[in-house]
Amino acid sequence: MNATFLAIMNHEYVQTSMQNPFHMLIYNGDVDFVCDFFMAEFFVDDLAAIMSAAVTRPREEWFYSLAATPTIQASAGFRKSYNFTSNVMMDLLTVKGSGHFVPLDRSGPALQMLYNFLGKGGDYNVPVRYSVKRQPLKPEYRPNPPVASQSTGQGGGGDTPPTTQSTTTTTTTTTTATPQQDNSTVTDGSDGARIGGGGGLAMVLLLLLSLAVAVVSGV
């Protein structure tokens, strides 16, 4: 890694062709366990020792604020600055409370950090001049709505064939079984009521026949 950075900083284009100093930024979330800020600081300090770089700003705190309330500041991390040559500068920053994905974890401080790195000469305490209030996603970036499953094409002359919509109607018929009435009424013979239908007459005839047999037998 040192060889790569040394090759970049000592390149002829960086040393002689650039009108402005070659400015680099290395930043880490201070709770990043993938690329922790200790590793970054050890690397930069080792590189600075190789090139006899000067520390132009010792480790100090930088602050995040909104343009509407610039006097209300929150600690955003720490920064340290180096001059490797007259044409090469480097800033080393930490972003407070961020993990490995700094723009995702601390979007406001990350935007302010990059805004100042690109346009404000490295004063990372300057708030972003435009609103950072969350806005709805622009229409061109919204996902496409789901495609309807039914086509509305009309038949006759168009490229889109007409759609035949089939509707299935299910009719449920409920059948209620009504028990048939039994006209036979069973009663005892003492109340003189009919026993029911033709069965009652047969019973009466059978009784009369029994009485006749009994009389004949007695005679």
Domain edges within the chain: 2-119, 192-218
At 139-188, the pLDDT tens digits run 898 888 777 766 555 555 545 555 545 444 444 444 444 455 554 444 44
At 106-118, the pLDDT tens digits run 999 999 999 999 9
Closest CA to 73 of 127, 145, 139: 127
Label the pairing between strands 74-85 and 88-95.
antiparallel
Torsion sign, CA atoms 105, 109, 110, 111: positive
Q: Are 163 and 147 in contact (CB under 8 A)?
A: no
Q: Are 163 and 151 in contact (CB under 8 A)?
A: yes
At 17-70, the pLDDT tens digits run 788 888 999 999 999 998 889 999 999 999 999 989 999 999 999 999 998 888
Domain at 2-119, CATH from 3.40.190.10, 3.40.50.12670, 2.30.40.10, 3.30.420.40: 3.40.50.12670
Burial 192-202 (b: 16+ CB within 10 A, else e): eeebeeeebee
pTM: 0.59
